[in-house]
Chains A and B, each alone.
Chain A
């Protein structure tokens, strides 16, 4: 299930449309993830405040969004562009890679709530594949 040329086109066009709200998208996705999948909170025990509007949640959401924007721009070499992040997640953060899928699901939910008209089945499929490819690239250094 690799990204076709058409998938890449769809992802780039959609992200160009929505990237103005990227920070909100990232922040909401992280907030939802922490609420809907409380086991993910175990990775953030060093944050004083895990509520949706808290500074660390919004900041982390911003980082996630910026990474996605960067990945969209380097969509032809996801593994290369995410190498450093993969090392970070594998060796330092040691986040169970199953959680990448969880965050991806919440990103899709946020996109559906914010952009219901643009989130067509075609866009849904391309984004689902793209986020899965991102997760794979992020998992590259794990073992």
Chain B
């Protein structure tokens, strides 16, 4: 089981409280599709992804970004039980969506960078970064856990 210090818990919950899922989600997913273009393989039904501008303006990308980011809410609310909370989602990503789990790690990095850019060094301090990245690492691990 993951051990969270009190400082880590409050850092994660405070930061989450500041995050606008509708803003950061689309930014993070767009960044993934631009910076790691092989990720586009999962979004062939999303329409025009041919240029960076197309990706950043694509409403399906934005909607999916919001959905994925919003999914983190469950993890924040269940910090002591993330593995079980994401078990079904993990099965779905493996069996139905066939997503390479390395993409979860890469999306987590993009999310962290968008959060860093949004909040700057005085909010996204080294301590907050540590707690946030540890949190995302646990989510990433939970999402990959049911793959076989």
Residues of chain A whose beta carbon lies under 8 Å from any beta carbon of chain B: 28, 31-32, 35-36, 52, 105, 108-110, 112-114, 116, 119, 121-122, 124-125, 128
Contacts and interface: CB of A to CB of B under 8 A. Distances in A.
B130 A109 contact: no
A112 B52 contact: no
A21 B127 CA distance: 22
A119 B113 CA distance: 9
Contacts of A28: 121
B35 A112 contact: no
A74 B20 CA distance: 41
Given A113-B116, A116-B117, A121 B56 contact: yes
Interface of B: 30-31, 34-35, 52, 56, 109, 112-114, 116-121, 124, 126-127, 129-130, 133
A112 B116 CA distance: 6
12 contacts: A31-B126, A36-B126, A105-B109, A109-B112, A112-B117, A113-B121, A119-B117, A121-B31, A121-B52, A122-B34, A124-B31, A124-B113
Contacts of A105: 109
Given A36-B133, A109-B129, 19 more contacts: A32-B126, A32-B129, A35-B126, A35-B129, A36-B126, A52-B126, A105-B109, A109-B113, A109-B124, A112-B117, A113-B116, A113-B120, A113-B121, A119-B117, A121-B30, A121-B31, A124-B113, A125-B34, A125-B35
A112 B113 CA distance: 6
Contacts of A110: 121
B66 to A, nearest CB: 18
Nearest to B124: A113
Given A105-B109, A121-B34, A35 B130 contact: yes
B22 to A, nearest CB: 18
A116 B127 contact: no
Contacts of B34: 121-122, 124-125
A119 B35 CA distance: 12
A11 B9 CA distance: 37
A113 B52 contact: no
Contacts of A112: 113-114, 116-117
Nearest to B113: A112
B52 A122 contact: yes
B120 to A, nearest CB: 5
Contacts of A31: 126
A28 to B, nearest CB: 7
Contacts of B52: 121-122
B109 A113 contact: no
Contact of A36 (B31, B117, B129): B129
